[in-house]
Amino acid sequence: MKVGIIGAGTMGSGIAQVAASANCQVLLFDTQPEALVKSQQKLAKIMNRLIEKGRITPMAASTLQANIEYVNSLETLADSELIIEAIVEDPAVKKKVFSTLESFVSTDCILASNTSSLSIASLAAACQQPERFIGIHFFNPAPLMKLVEIIPAVQTSNTVKNKARAIIVGWGKLTVLAKDTPGFIVNRVARPFYGEALRIYDEGIADIATIDWAMKTIGGFRMGPFELMDFIGNDINYTVTETVFKAFFYDPRYRPSFTQKRMAEAGYLGRKSGRGYYDYSEDSKKPNPVEDQRLGQAIVDRIVAMLINEAADALHYRVASAVDIDTAMAKGVNYPKGLLAWADKMGICTCVERLDALFEEYHETRYRCSPLLRKMLKNGATFYPEKVSNKNN
């Protein structure tokens, strides 16, 4: 299969590696020759490390590298059966690229965007054949992260949806199907992990190190919210938050924090800039948390309740199935368990009580309880039958 990838940055290069490892013939396009050279050099280093660790043979590495051709002419992608765009999150730029592609690719070529938060329907509308357009959202680093969100637009045909999903599954990925709504599954449901942590910090309830300690030690999360924002990049995380906030017609649940905005404006972007919520310079020492169990549990209870509420609302509005929502959060951002399964284990009554307590304290619609949770409490329902719930725990 011939696959075109547009954009030789981190995501585009990673997707190219995934496709090449599945024996696809990959054409990696970028307008900047230096980006193509950098991508090729980076892949060579990755292959050498894998060879040294015994994870791949020299012959397999050579074959994978030979499967990728680095090109700077968009027309070179003309014979591609699937083209995935992974460039700047600017809808005008993306639309121009897809409009240009349609002038020379075959009518059977599937066009896809790796966007993390932009409207797939809007991008598809730039095409003469919008039914062949779909969202295929990989997570960084693409070669290591198993999850891929498949997002059909309202225009996407069922044939294209099924074919695109089958292709990505054939590349060894775990796919979930998401409705074309802001943030899809992961970038929507995960917003409280960052937003509520920032709110707790802004209110002076706990410092950054303590919030991260609580979420890791008590909550069981692999990284704390501030560590993760520094890892992602505070500019990227803020932009996604702002995009989702605007796309949801300024719903207070997604309102960005001024702290986050100021960090991005100051250039304190996290690991990539050497400073973010933490100092990453060579001689720096990480601040010590306040290891107060009661405070830590209160932090975890508040953030997890908000995450569960967001997951429940996503299910309520049919963004995805319960299984796909839990799979996405467990595999896309490495949560310790699926949030809906977590709600079952915690008890729907407890979830509702915690959300109502927050609303009573703040009287902000940010803390409104999902109608689905209230309905489930009234009916004594759970998200999963007992057998499935135990399996997810």
174 sits in which H/E element: strand 174-177
116 assigned to active site? yes
For the chain, the maximum distance between any two Cα atoms, rounded to a whole number of angstroms, is 63
Per DSSP, the residues of 119-156 read -HHHHHTTSS-GGGEEEEEE-SSTTT--EEEEEE-TT-
From the candidates 113, 187, 389, 392, which is the catalytic residue? 187
- Return the ∠ at Cα 143 (arms to 94 and 162), rounded to 5°: 60
**Residues sharing a CB contact under 8 Å with residue 373, sequence separation 6 or more, in sequence order:** 308, 309, 312, 343, 348, 351, 352, 355
67 assigned to active site? no
Cα–Cα distance between 255 and 252 in angstroms, integer? 5
89 assigned to active site? no
- By three-state DSSP, how is residue 10 classified? helix
137 assigned to active site? yes
Q: Determine contact, residues 143/17, Cβ cutoff 8 Å.
A: yes
Cα–Cα distance between 6 and 182 in angstroms, integer? 23
Cα–Cα distance between 180 and 327 in angstroms, integer? 18
From the candidates 149, 196, 227, 310, which is the catalytic residue? 149
From the candidates 13, 80, 85, 137, which is the catalytic residue? 137
Both structure tokens of 176: 């979930």
Cα–Cα distance between 332 and 186 in angstroms, integer? 7
From the candidates 13, 116, 237, 309, which is the catalytic residue? 116
What are the phi and psi torsion angles at 352 (to 5°)? -65, -40
Strands 2-6 and 25-29, sheet pairing: parallel
Cα–Cα distance between 90 and 217 in angstroms, integer? 38
Catalytic residue set: 116, 137, 149, 187
